[in-house]
Structure 1
Amino acid sequence: MKYSWILVVVLLSACGSNPSKPSGHLYQENDSQNIPADSKEMLNVRMGVAYFERGDYDTALEKLKRALSYNSKLAIAHSAIATVYATLNAQLDAERHYKLSVKYGPKDPTILNNYGTYLCQKGEYELALSYYEKTLANPFYKTPETVHENMGVCLVQSNQHSKAEPHFRKALQYNSKLPVSLYNMVVVSSAKGDYMKARAFLQRLQNVAALDERILKIGYEVETEMGNKRAANRYLGMIKQIKRN
């Protein structure tokens, strides 16, 4: 299941990103090293981010490399270029730049969150969680809900479902319309046999995102267990429609 590219860039969209993957901010202005927004390096970071959004990875790399030529210790530029390299599956380059981003921005919450996301996607769950915890330790981070959601997803991926649920709930306390957290709460509640809560979270999810086949099947099972045949058949019809398409 994904935050404007000038101010904030997200790797996964609220209504289109994968609920099984954590999300990260590629760039969040004013988080990094107090570099003037109109400096040559930050202007090139912005341009690199914009080209990344358009899918023009070659030009994105060119702009981000230029930013680093102006300031080789600019943490956010290292984090951004690492994200581009990771997208291109150039893992050695991605790893090198992520480590440099943390070296030069060790207290920057955006940098820490991005590196945590990368580590989680690599399967280094415990290390990823430690970076998310460092991010949350900064009381001025602008989107703690994203970090709680990331932690929840990472814990689900590492089969620590009971520990994941409180983070999804915390994320939803900050923002009640987060699709990834709502999606996962449907899954968690259904797995626990708490069908009333699963139904409630599913209804909230339907208001903010399209439902995929997996979640529709859960909806069908929930309504079947609750004896609501009409609602169950509605979900069944939606599943068949997806299969036809």
Structure 2
Amino acid sequence: MKFFRKLTILVGLIGLGAVASVCAQNTTEPSPESFSQRPVAKDARTRAKLHTELGSLYFQDGDLIVALEELTLAAAIDPTYAKAFATRGVVLYHVKEFDSADQDFRTALNLDEKDPEISNNYGWFLCRTGKPKEALGHFQRAIKNPLYRTPGLAYLNEGECYIKLGELDQAEESLRKGMRLVPGNLQGLYHQAVISYKRGNYDAARKYLSGVIRSERVPAEVLWLALRIERQLGDKAAESAIAARLRRSFPESPEYQAFLKGNFE
């Protein structure tokens, strides 16, 4: 499906290039009306949108270098297109260019401060880079926007931030609201497991995490939590199996290094 979507976008970009070529070859003396910048602006915005969507698809496929190239091109084509900067901010976070990512998110918000998706993504970025208090306002801005199509994701992100702040009751409330809107969300289940683990309710933590660890791609942090849950419950066989999985998939991860050192908390 992604391949055909990429192909459709590329065909669209080729089509826009063909139109531009025809216009360039037209040597007829222009009328005064043709000096209007609106058609040019529309064409630039269309191309920027297409390159942004293409960059998003490459990002989803894990090709971060090409994703950055496409998003940088989108931002150059239309420097007023907020989503190009916001999407590039997400990719820059994943390549650990945090300062550049922060700048892109700020640029995106300056261009379109009312876009709830940008607010949510910037809040997510702040939460993941050690600024959970600053993040909360961005989540609420997204949630309160009646045009936001996925407020459940903002609630889940908000819940993660409250966990980082140690406010477990608030975290639980945000996660409950989020899970009502996006039931079965793996991020939400993981963080509900985190709360249960922190409260010493290991059976509930295992239950929340059971569906998560069966998924195809499980992050190291999820396996690490599952391992510690089984350790607390005294299931040595399950603990060993998860430790082996952590070693196979993430041998250089901080989580596996903590396991080797016996640092379980």
Question: For each residue in 1:129-181, what CA deviation from the matched residue of structure 2 results, as whole angstroms up to 9, or x when unmatched?
Answer: 11011010112322222111111111212222232111122222223312222
2:232 corresponds to 1:221: yes
Do the aligned partners of 1:177 and 1:208 also contact (CA within 8 Å) in 2? no
Unaligned runs of 5+ in 2: 6-41, 249-265
Find out whether 1:238 has 2:241 as its counterpart: yes
2:128 to 98, 115, 121: 121
Amino acid at match of 1:139: P
Corresponding residue for residue 172 of structure 2: 165
Which aligned pairs between 1:1-245 and structure 2 lie closer than 5 A? 39-195=46-202, 197-205=204-212, 212-222=223-233, 232=235, 234-239=237-242, 241-242=244-245, 245=248
Give distance in 1, aligned partners of 2:82 and 2:238. 47
Give the Cα–Cα distance (whole angstroms) in 1 for the partners of residues 232 and 225 of structure 2. 11
Counterpart of 2:179 in structure 1: which amino acid? Answer: L
Question: 1:90-148: CA deviations, max 9, x gaps?
Answer: 33332222111001111111111111111112211111111011010112322222111
CA RMSD in angstroms, aligned pairs only = 3.2
Gaps of 5+ in 1: 7-34, 225-231
Q: CA 1:52 to 1:194, structure 2 compared with 1: closer, same or farther past 3 Å?
A: closer
For residues 51-106 of structure 1, what are the alpha-carbon distances to aligned partners after superposition, in whole Å with 9 as ceiling and x for unaligned? 33344444333322332233211110111222233333333332222111001111
Q: What amino acid is aligned across from residue 78 of structure 2 in structure 1? A: N
Higher-RCO chain (CA-CA 8 Å, sequence separation at least 6): 1
Work out the CA distance in 2 between the residues paired with 1:202 and 1:52: 27
Higher helix residue share: 2
Report the more deviating stretch, 198-207 or 173-182: 198-207
Other structure's SS at 2:183 match: coil
Distance between the aligned counterparts of 1:117 and 1:240, measured in 2? 29
Question: So what's the TM-score if we normalise by structure 2?
Answer: 0.65
In 1, are the aligned partners of 2:190 and 2:208 still within 8 Å (CA)? yes
User: d(CA) in 1 for partners of 2:215 and 2:63?
Assistant: 29
Counterpart contact for 1:177–1:205, Cα < 8 Å: no
- Corresponding residue pairs, total: 207
Larger Rg: 2
Q: Give 3-state SS (helix, strand or coil) of 1:212's partner.
A: helix
Three-state SS of the structure 2 residue aligned to 1:168 is: helix
Question: What letter matches 1:214 in structure 2?
Answer: L
